[in-house]
Amino acid sequence: MQEAVPVGAGAMAALLGLDLPAVLSVCERAAEGQVVSPANLNSPGQIVVAGDRAAVERAVNLAKEAGAKRAILLQVSAPFHCALLMPAEQRLSVDLDRCSFSDLRCPLVTNVDAQFVRTGAEARSALKRQVSRTVRWQETVQRLLDEGVRTFVEVGPGKVLLGLIRSIDKSATMLNAEDEKSVENAVNALL
């Protein structure tokens, strides 16, 4: 991914308090021939944009003018989930095409489509496309909720994703597994 966009050439910014149509308008006005687009649709009122550094900086200023509660540049090494990463997607695609994918034992909701996949081919396609496409986190969580999922476990350090889920549905059960004690607590809660 870093080969696709040299350090400093791209950027990401969190825009808080604007809906998707407002963010799309901000991106359109900020682009000026460069790339800037929604990268993460995280939760109601939290959208991250990514693209060329200058365009993202313009988007931050335009978002503030449009009434965003906050618009801040993120400290990241590359502009993830935007068209600038198409070279990385193409490179990864070659490697993924060499791998054998079996059909899934249980369905998976992808972050790129917020749809269920069940076959190996569908999983491979989603893995490829997620590199340069928008993460549809809010839609993904909503799809799971609509299917009756009521318990979520975040694996890894922190509880950022659980916080996003909480802003989508406060009634869901949320567990984290980041160290021995929290894994034990999560397992016990799931039994």
The DSSP result for the chain, as a single string, is -TTTS-TTTEEEEEEES--HHHHHHHHHHHHTTS-EEEEEEEETTEEEEEEEHHHHHHHHHHHHHTT-SEEEE---SS--SSGGGHHHHHHHHHHHHHS--PPPSS-EE-TTTSSEE-SHHHHHHHHHHTTTS-B-HHHHHHHHHHTT--EEEEESSS-HHHHHHHHH-TTSEEEEESSHHHHHHHHHHH-
Question: Nearest Cα to 86, choosing from 128, 27, 43?
Answer: 128
Residues across the chain: 191
CATH of domain 10-81: 3.30.70.250
Q: How many CB atoms are closer than 10 A to CB 116? A: 15
pLDDT in the model for residue 3: 83
Burial of 117 (0-12, 13-18, 19+ CB in 10 A): buried
Contact criterion met (CB below 8 Å) for 38 and 49: yes
82: amino acid identity, one letter: C
pLDDT in the model for residue 1: 83
pLDDT in the model for residue 6: 87
For the chain, list residues with pLDDT below 70.
Answer: none
What pTM, to 2 d.p., does this model score? Answer: 0.92
Q: What is the tens place of the pLDDT at every residue in 47-79?
A: 999 999 999 999 999 999 999 999 999 999 899
Strands 10-16 and 70-73: antiparallel
Rounded Cα distance, 56 and 49, in Å? 7
Round to the nearest angstrom and report the end-to-end CA distance of the chain. 40
pLDDT in the model for residue 108: 95
pLDDT in the model for residue 7: 86
Q: Where are the domains of the chain?
A: 10-81, 150-191
